[in-house]
Amino acid sequence: MIDFERWAELGQSLSKHKLRTGLTAFGVSWGIFMLVLLLGMGKGLERGTMTLFQDTALNSVWIGGGKTSQSYKGLTPGRTVGLEIDDVALLENLPGVEAVGPTKLLDKGYVMRYGKNTGSFQINGISAVNAEIQKLALLSGRQINQLDERESRKVAIIGARVNDVLMKNQLSPVGKTIYVGETPFTVIGVYNKALGEQSPNRVYIPYSTLRQVFDPAPTVNMLALTVSPGYSWPDLKPEAIRLLSQRHRFDPNDSAALEIYDISDEVKKVESLMSGIRLFMIIVGTGTLMAGCVGVSNTMLVTVKERTREFGIRKAIGASSADILFMVLHETLVITLAAGYVGLIAGVGLVELISQAGIESDYFRDPQVDLSIAISALGVLILAGLIAGYLPARQAVRVSPIEALRHE
């Protein structure tokens, strides 16, 4: 009964002061909304960036030929270092190396045909080892295996774009035959994402098949190497470079002769970037929250000042200081809680909408809100509101009602 009376009184007080109520509510809603949005977007950024590495083994190192920058044993600088298939065996014997595989991307596109549909696509030759390292993200079918490689089978993993153009996005292209020139290839898989590709529009075939059908030269673009557990690339690097430098005759100290990408190193760089971004978000988030707190506190402060007279009247007609304090805190709690809830729902809703809409790029995907953080942020705002309401209200109820009443 008494509770109902309090709520009725509260409802009247809030609804008769729409501007005051609205401003406080807006401050809280907006603060929480922005915070939730910030947290959600941050999560999306983190997830997007980390997926850049999902299509490659994290313990892999990619080595490609470069151009010498120093003279070596009478050879002039500026020579191209071309890696070859024999380098695979050379590096494989190095202790600490798990596996090595070649990739060779043919420069020009080849016209391919399926039924009446044709298109020109690039061909990439890889080995079974490489297929594991590179982790083509398959929509259907299987990876290239050692048997394919040994027997130089005419099998292909095609990109989703290729499937789109040649087979009009057929649901099960696996087992179908496409023609590259006059050579038939059996489709064994479809991928939708691969390292170093903007869109999946290549055709992967076994390296040995590529040499047999298209280009007999023993060259490779890159060697993909994985490091055995318990070893790290910096330990192996000097010996690997020494072996390659002997074979290809360049100065082992010439850093331009080879292009080396250590994925674990790249991951570390990105992780440190992410922790920087995370720190930045914590600072911005805390700032947003503080701005919200200041806003709510300020409104409460002004509100209470403005209501000194009302409190005086209430006191003179029989309200105790406790009654008035309770009233102020009750109002603050209800406004901040309701408004915070609205902000929370709006923020989570928007983040969810972005996530559902599938807005994503290389650096952004699947934004998500950490609800526990958002709710504790709301808690902080409510606490700030309560303190900001309580302190001046306690001051105000101490003032003698007659003074409060005479003070127009």
Partner 1 sequence: MLDIRPNHSSSLREKQIDQLKNRQLAAADALGVSFEKPIISVQSLTKSYHIGSMTVPVLKGIDLSVKEGEFVSIMGPSGSGKSTLLNVLGILDRYDDGEYVLDGTLIKPLSETEATRHRNHLIGFVFQSFNLLPFKTAIDNVAMPLYYQKVPRKQREERARKLLERMGLASRMDHLPSELSGGQRQRVAIARALVTDPPLILADEPTGNLDTKTSEEVMELFTEINHEGKTLVVITHDEEVAERTRRVIHLQDGRIRH
Q: Count Cβ neighbours within 10 Å for each residue of 16-54 and write b for 16 or more, e otherwise.
A: ebeebbebbbebbbbbbbbbbbbbbbbbbbbbbbebebe
Q: Output DSSP code: residue 62.
A: E
Identity of the residue, 17 or 211, whose beta carbon is nearer to partner 1 in the bound complex: 17
Question: Residue 405 Cβ, how far from partner 1 at the closest point, in Å?
Answer: 5
Nearer to partner 1, 5 or 107 (CB): 5
3-state secondary structure of 261: strand
15 vs 361, beta carbon nearer partner 1: 15
- Closer CB to partner 1, 116 or 398, in the complex: 398
Tokens describing residue 88 = 């695979």
337 contact partners, CB below 8 Å, separation of at least 6: 378, 382
- Of 383, 391, 405, 382, whose CA–CA distance to 303 is shortest? 391
The nearest distance, CB 320 to partner 1, in angstroms, is 4
Q: How far is Cα 161 from Cα 168, in angstroms, rounded to an integer? A: 9
Q: Using the minimum distance from each CB to partner 1, give the nearer residue, 242 or 406.
A: 406
Indicate the residue among 281 and 404 with the shorter CB distance to partner 1: 404
Q: How far is the CB of 329 from partner 1 (least distance, A)?
A: 17
Distance CA 300, CA 333 (A): 11
| Residue type (1 letter), 21 | T
- Cα 303–402–321 angle (5° rounding)? 55
CB of 317 to partner 1, least distance (A): 4
Shortest approach of partner 1 to residue 295 CB, angstroms?
A: 24
Binding site for partner 1 (CB under 8 A): 1-2, 5, 8-9, 12-13, 16-17, 309-310, 312-323, 400-402, 405-406, 408
